[in-house]
Chain A
Amino acid sequence: MNRLDHSRSLDPALCPDSSVSLLQARLARLDPSRLSRGCAHVSSLMLAGALLACSRAPLPEPVSQAQAVSHSKAAAQAQEFAPQAFEAAEHLKNEALALHDEHREAESEAAGAQALAAYNEAFALSQISIAQERLEQAQKNKQQAQQQLSQLDTLQAQVSQDAEGFELQVRVALDTEAVKDVDKLTPARAEARRLAAKQLTAEAALLCLGARLLHAEGNALDAATSQVTVLEKELGVGSVKTDLYPRSADARALCLKELSLARRKQAERAPQSAQSDVLLAALSSAGKYMVFRDDRGVVINIGQPLSGDRLTDEAQQALQVLGATAKKYPHFPLLLVVHTRKSGEEKRAEQLGQFAKDALLTAGAPAVHVKSVGSAQPVIQASQSQAAEKNERVEVIFVVPGR
């Protein structure tokens, strides 16, 4: 721009090189010695005045501004994004300069203003172009993000479905874990399952016995009783190699079913025969005993029944009361269950059972059936203190004949 301005500061048409040279030559012919200092000064002024007269008019302001903006950063952007509009502006700027060269200053100024407006138009168009590109890119990015999210949602649904399916399969598999998996059990868990199996088998034995006391018969009861007998033998070994818990649970369920069927028949024959509520109320009113009802019937627990080799006074009194009660309710078969302190106390269990049975019979009970379950159903774990005293006990069960 500067170069252009300087080159246009002298107009060759108005100030040809010859006239300037002539003036310079005339001044040079003057003898400096004949000239006073004042004359020399006047000569210098005359030369400057002549040069000024030869200079041309300055560029109109709009043209200068158009030249300035044509080299701006925005112009470079406009050249890239709005090339046609930029070219039009450049054309107008050149027209303005050409008009200025022709000394058509008014029209040059108007053309400069036109060029300035054209540059601004190019800038606006480039802004639109940039905004459009940005908008298109934003739309594209949004579409991609939506697709990604949609794909992830689909994957999530699939993986979630798989996970839930597998988890359900695991739960089902664990619930129906096969007996052969016992090898994979930890020793502690295997032992816990064996103890639970012993309890269930003991319960099964009592339930099957209860069914027989209610005069139940049939192959199903025989099969269930046989199963219980086999289990008692197997559990007596103490091995945990075979998981007997599922079979014990089955055996208990079978015996309970037989007892329920027997009770149903009794109830059909004599609907009022049960009277278990009356019996329970009568025993509870005595207030001395721990009375409760379970699948077997109405149960009275007598703890710590032995002192040395005979029944304690408290046990003796309780058994007398219960024997008398059994006499009043003869349709409730009486089952005496003996629990020992630990395994291997069969003799002590037999002795305790005999003492208790005698006491009941003496008190008037019509019949007593004794069953020892050994240490299969402890009140507390054998390893705990006072386990021996608390676990040795007798249960007098009034087998409920009806529902």
Chain B
Amino acid sequence: MKASEARQKKAQADGDTASAQRWADVVQRYRRIAALTQQAASLAQQATAIEEQTAELNTQTRRARNLLEQTEVRRARALGELQRLGITPPAAPSGAAPAPNERPSTAQ
């Protein structure tokens, strides 16, 4: 950029106005490029941070899925025991756990 500024000054000194304007534009463009590069880096940094948070959430989701599966086994076992004892459990209230194929997917 300094070289471009120098070329701008030289062109002005030589009376080459057209070239001087072009070199001035070059200087302006490189200033914009510096700001744009900074902006791109900042955006990439934000994206990386969010991706890391998402990865952590996915880990939590996997753990939650495992826990849910274990709890479902517990529930099924208790339900089977109740049925073996001849007891009909009350109907599941609305909003109860859906069937396994209706569960949210945790596939990564």
- A contacts, CB < 8 Å to B: 106-107, 109-111, 113-114, 117-118, 120-121, 124-125, 127-128, 130-132, 134-135, 137-139, 141-142, 145-149, 151-153, 155-156, 158-160, 162-163, 165-167, 169-170, 173-174, 177
A114 and B18 alpha carbons, distance in the complex (Å): 12
The smallest beta-carbon distance between A166 and chain B, in angstroms, is 3
Q: Is the CB of B58 within 8 A of A156?
A: no
Q: Is the CB of B43 within 8 A of A174?
A: no
Residues of chain A with a CB closer than 8 A to B22's CB: 107, 110-111, 113-114
Task: Give the residue name and chain of the A residue nearest to B8 (CB).
Answer: A110
Known interface pairs A114-B29, A142-B54; 17 further A-B residue pairs with C-beta atoms within 8 A, sorted by A's residue number:
A128-B43, A131-B44, A138-B54, A139-B50, A141-B50, A145-B61, A148-B104, A149-B61, A151-B103, A152-B64, A158-B95, A158-B96, A159-B71, A162-B96, A165-B89, A169-B89, A170-B85
A162 to B79, CA, bound (A): 9
What secondary structure prevails in chain A residues at the interface with B?
Answer: helix
B-side contacts of A137, CB under 8 Å? 47
Q: How far is the CB of B32 from chain A (nearest CB, A)?
A: 6
In contact, A167 and B71 (Cβ under 8 angstroms): no
Task: Decide if B25 touches A114 in the complex (CB within 8 Å).
Answer: yes
A152-B68, A163-B71, A163-B74 known; A173 vs B82 contact (CB < 8 Å): yes
Please give, as numbers and ranges, the residues of chain A lying within 8 Å of B29 by CB-CB distance: 114, 117-118, 120-121
Complex Cα–Cα for A124 and B46 (A) = 17
Q: Name the distance in Å between B77's Cβ and chain A's nearest Cβ.
A: 8
Interface hits, B54-108 → A, CB 8 Å: 54, 57-58, 60-61, 64-65, 67-68, 71-72, 74-75, 78-79, 81-82, 85, 87, 89, 92, 95-98, 103-106
A170–B67 CA distance with the chains assembled, in angstroms: 22
Q: Say which size band chain B's interface belongs to.
A: 35 or more
> Which A residue sits closest to B107, measured CB to CB?
A148
- One of A124, A135, A160, A173 near B50 (C-beta < 8 A): A135
B97–A121 CB distance below 8 A: no
Roughly how many angstroms separate A109 CA and B7 CA in the complex, as a whole number? 10
Instruction: Please determine whether B40 and A114 come into contact, CB atoms closer than 8 angstroms.
Output: no
Q: A149-B60, A162-B75 are in contact. Are A155 and B68 (CB under 8 A)?
A: yes
Contact assessment for B54 and A141 in the assembled complex, using a CB-CB cutoff below 8 Å: yes
A114-B22, A121-B32, A121-B36 are contacts. A162–B61 as well, Cβ < 8 Å? no
Question: Min CB distance, B14 to chain A, in Å?
Answer: 8
Contacts of A169 in B (CB 8 A): 78, 82, 87, 89
Interface string of B28-60 (1 = CB under 8 A from A): 011011001101100110110011011001101
Neighbouring A residues of B85 by C-beta, 8 Å: 170, 173-174, 177
Give A141 to B57 CA distance when docked, in angstroms: 10
Determine whether the beta carbon of A106 is less than 8 Å from that of B19.
yes
Measured CA separation A61–B14 after assembly (Å): 20
State how many angstroms separate the Cβ of B95 from the closest Cβ of chain A.
7
CA of A113 to CA of B7, assembled, Å: 11
